[in-house]
DNA sequence: CACTTTTTCGTAAATTAACTACATTAAAGA
DNA sequence: TCTTTAATGTAGTTAATTTACGAAAAAGTG
């Protein structure tokens, strides 16, 4: 049995022309189906061909090709090619994005990269920029920022620490529940905690959020919408990621959370103004001597 | 002064038609520049217009438009429209993906997500699937896997550890040079080290790679092409990421490296066969009781 | 089963768009 | 100022797409 071991439901966010052809295959007439099959087998050829060449390839007449295009809600053949070209540009030559048992390295590499990109696209659309803005507000006013994450999210927290450390802000990062709890007890009104959790259902982390709020600290969570963690936070930046349901390891959510960190960091530097960014330059220069010089001609 | 504070150099990995027009603006003749400006201001209109309409909009003759298309290495006007359509499809309605001083939360959120997606796309195209395949070969035969990363790459190494730990393989992870060096001394022929470095020029890490090889360990590096680290490794999985040159923090490279981890992990599970994936299921079930139950209707 | 109706499909003509060749104009250099 | 070269437009040619119509096939109907 060949099982799809991880899948991303692409249909959720984009009804690509190529897919449209695939799904409507049964609704087409006999001749139109011939056209559809020629296009599906070599879409790259199709977009560069004239209506005459395509008709000959499908062994139908030119008007049939034209009617086929119109049936797909396009103005005509040139317009159809435009739509098709856009589908292809998105790097989805496959209709299905499942990784299968018998996929080769080339195939699964592409599929995973494409799934990741798709997940980021979905995440982007689900994020509320106003939440980002409020989060930046809170972060800029923080006296100390703590980043917390457990399991797969611990690396996300580490990354956030690394980033904000360069901003010359007091930062800490914990991936250990006991340390988190201790840290919460000592938190003050000027403390800001940023908690990362894909599900927002990790009991220990929700408890940490509650503890922190009892110490009057601000709690920002980067997590799922309507989750217990989101409810327990001062501000929830909710991210919807189409996580691969069959795979047993979270993949796409980390990427989305890391990108949210980048967005927050960007908002942070913008808020602080140009003078502040000189700091970053100095930090970067400080690491330079630990590196091998890059050849000048590159 | 409104400065672009971080930019992604798109030109490196994709000469997007829209950018090509933008950058070559000065090389065009007077009339051609008129055409360029019309296209840049409303590319969406341009792809649906005929050569006659476009000529009228730019207030030039039709052959001028045609010559303009040819100058951009296309076969003619229809071919040009195809290329332009593909540029637009990649989610780049803007010509520039720079974050500006005066960008609002909505704007910079979108720009950063799009840059990240673009970076993943570039990375995907630059990766050699055969290198991935060899890396999977080496990893599946490892007696022990060590993940090393310094600075911004340390969170990448942590993530890799988290992922491979679930595979029930002996894994360690260090983000500290001294520990890395000690670990290298004790390495054996069955040891596999995976080193992450965006630049591949961090002196300490290159030295670690050399030490490990002296102990007959296998060294896989996820890094830049033709870098000192790549040369010092048994196998280099090279990833080209268009890193933002003006920003002082690496952003896109982590995402690309994390995705490479996902790809390697996928290859690993595929190689191990379906029976092996039961392990993953059990690991996942083991964490379940630490979570709040999700409502059934969701 | 014959006949009607509807759908499908192709031929040929018409229209539209794109391209080429050439002439004219503008710009640059001598 | 004249010559040369590059740039642009006009008009004509060619190619491509679309429309109109009619034949054939399929699906109903008495």
Give the pLDDT score at B22. Answer: 81
Give the pLDDT score at B167. Answer: 85
Calculate the dihedral angle through the C-alpha atoms of A17, A19, A23, A27, rounding to the nearest 10 degrees: 20
Contact (Cβ atoms closer than 8 angstroms) between residue A45 and residue A283: no
Give the pLDDT score at B27. Answer: 81
Structural domain boundaries enclosing B33:
17-89
Give the pLDDT score at A215. Answer: 94
Domain assignment present for B69: yes
If pLDDT is split at 50, 70 and 90, which confidence band does A294 have?
low
Domain assignment present for B119: no
If pLDDT is split at 50, 70 and 90, which confidence band does A15 have?
low
Question: In angstroms, rounded to a whole number, what is the distance separating the alpha carbons of residues A59 and A62?
Answer: 9
What CATH number is given to the structural domain containing A64? 1.10.10.10
Give the pLDDT score at A210. Answer: 95
Give the pLDDT score at A138. Answer: 96
CA/C1' separation A66–D29 (Å): 33
- A105: nearest CB among B206, B247, B267: B267
Domain boundary among A31, A66, A89: A89
Residues A179 and A262 in one domain: yes
Question: In angstroms, rounded to a whole number, what is the distance separating the alpha carbons of residues B7 and B9?
Answer: 6
Give the pLDDT score at A150. Answer: 95
Domain boundary among B36, B62, B89: B89
Residues A17 and A80 in one domain: yes
Domain assignment present for A110: no
What CATH number is given to the structural domain containing B277? 3.40.50.10490
Question: In angstroms, rounded to a whole number, what is the distance separating the alpha carbons of residues B249 and A34?
Answer: 52
CB atoms A155 and B152 under 8 Å: no
Residues A54 and A145 in one domain: no
Give the pLDDT score at B4. Answer: 38
Give the pLDDT score at A25. Answer: 82
Coil, helix or strand for A147? strand
- Given a cut of 60, whether residue B64 has pLDDT beyond it is yes
Residues A144 and A222 in one domain: yes
Give the pLDDT score at A2. Answer: 34
CA/C1' separation A61–C4 (Å): 28
Residues A72 and A136 in one domain: no
Residues A205 and A282 in one domain: yes
Residues B280 and B176 in one domain: yes
Domain assignment present for B264: yes
- Residue A5 in contact with partner chain B when CB distance is under 8 A: yes
Burial of B289 (0-12, 13-18, 19+ CB in 10 A): exposed
Residues A68 and A149 in one domain: no
Domain count, chain B: 2
Question: In angstroms, rounded to a whole number, what is the distance separating the alpha carbons of residues A120 and A154?
Answer: 20
Domain boundary among A89, A115, A138: A89
Q: Report the first-to-last Cα separation within chain B, whole angstroms.
A: 49
Q: In chain A, which residues from 224 to 263 place their CB closer than 7 Å to nucleic acid strand D?
A: none
What average pLDDT is seen over chain A? 83
Domain assignment present for B3: no
A30 touches strand C (CB under 7 A): yes
- B155: nearest CB among A155, A166, A290: A155
Residues A135 and A206 in one domain: yes
A50 touches strand D (CB under 7 A): yes
Domain assignment present for B255: yes
Domain assignment present for B110: no
- Given a cut of 70, whether residue B16 has pLDDT beyond it is yes
The sign of the CA dihedral A99, A104, A110, A112 is positive
Q: pLDDT by residue (tens digit) across B204-259?
A: 999 999 999 999 999 999 999 999 999 999 999 999 887 654 455 678 889 999 99
H or E element, residue B195: strand B191-196
Residues B152 and B272 in one domain: yes
- Given a cut of 50, whether residue A7 has pLDDT beyond it is no
CA/C1' separation A63–D19 (Å): 10
Range 100-159 of A in CB contact (< 8 A) with B: 101, 103-106, 108-110, 112-114, 116-117, 120-121, 123-124, 127, 129-130, 132-133, 136, 151-152, 154-156, 158-159
If pLDDT is split at 50, 70 and 90, which confidence band does B86 have?
confident
Give me the percent of chain A exceeding a pLDDT of 70. 81
Q: pLDDT by residue (tens digit) across A186-243?
A: 999 999 999 999 989 999 999 999 999 999 999 999 999 889 999 999 999 999 887 6
Residues B84 and B134 in one domain: no
Domain assignment present for A123: no
Burial of A290 (0-12, 13-18, 19+ CB in 10 A): middle
Residues B159 and B271 in one domain: yes
Q: How much is the average pLDDT of A284-295? A: 66
Give the pLDDT score at B222. Answer: 97
Question: In angstroms, rounded to a whole number, what is the distance separating the alpha carbons of residues A34 and B180?
Answer: 61
If pLDDT is split at 50, 70 and 90, which confidence band does B277 have?
low
């Amino acid at each position: 049995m060949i099982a799809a071991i991880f899948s991303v439901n692409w249909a959720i966010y984009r009804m690509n022309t190529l897919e449209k052809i695939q799904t409507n295959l049964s609704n087409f007439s006999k001749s139109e189906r011939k056209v559809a099959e020629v296009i599906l087998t070599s879409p790259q050829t199709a977009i560069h061909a004239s209506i005459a060449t395509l008709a000959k390839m499908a062994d139908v007449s030119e008007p049939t090709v034209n009617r086929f295009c119109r049936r797909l809600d396009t103005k005509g053949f040139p317009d159809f090619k435009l739509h098709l070209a856009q589908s292809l540009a998105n790097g989805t030559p496959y209709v299905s994005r499942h990784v299968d048992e018998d996929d080769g390295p080339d195939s699964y590499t592409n599929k995973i990269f494409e799934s990741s990109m798709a997940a980021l696209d979905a995440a982007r659309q689900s994020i509320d920029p106003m939440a980002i803005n409020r989060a930046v507000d809170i972060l800029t006013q923080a006296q100390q920022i703590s980043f917390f994450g457990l399991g797969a999210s611990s690396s996300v927290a580490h990354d956030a620490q690394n980033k904000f450390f360069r901003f010359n802000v007091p930062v800490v990062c914990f991936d250990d529940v006991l340390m988190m709890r201790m840290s919460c007890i000592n938190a003050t009104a000027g403390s800001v905690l940023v908690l990362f959790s894909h599900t927002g259902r990790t009991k220990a982390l929700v408890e940490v959020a509650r503890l922190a709020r009892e110490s009057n600290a601000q709690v920002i969570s980067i997590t799922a919408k309507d989750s217990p963690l989101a409810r327990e936070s001062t501000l929830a930046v909710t991210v919807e990621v189409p996580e691969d349901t069959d795979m047993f390891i979270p993949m796409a959510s980390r990427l989305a959370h890391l990108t949210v960190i980048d967005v927050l960091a960007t908002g942070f530097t913008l808020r602080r103004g140009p003078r502040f960014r000189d700091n970053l330059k100095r930090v970067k220069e400080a690491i330079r001597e630990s590196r091998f010089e890059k050849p000048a001609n590159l």
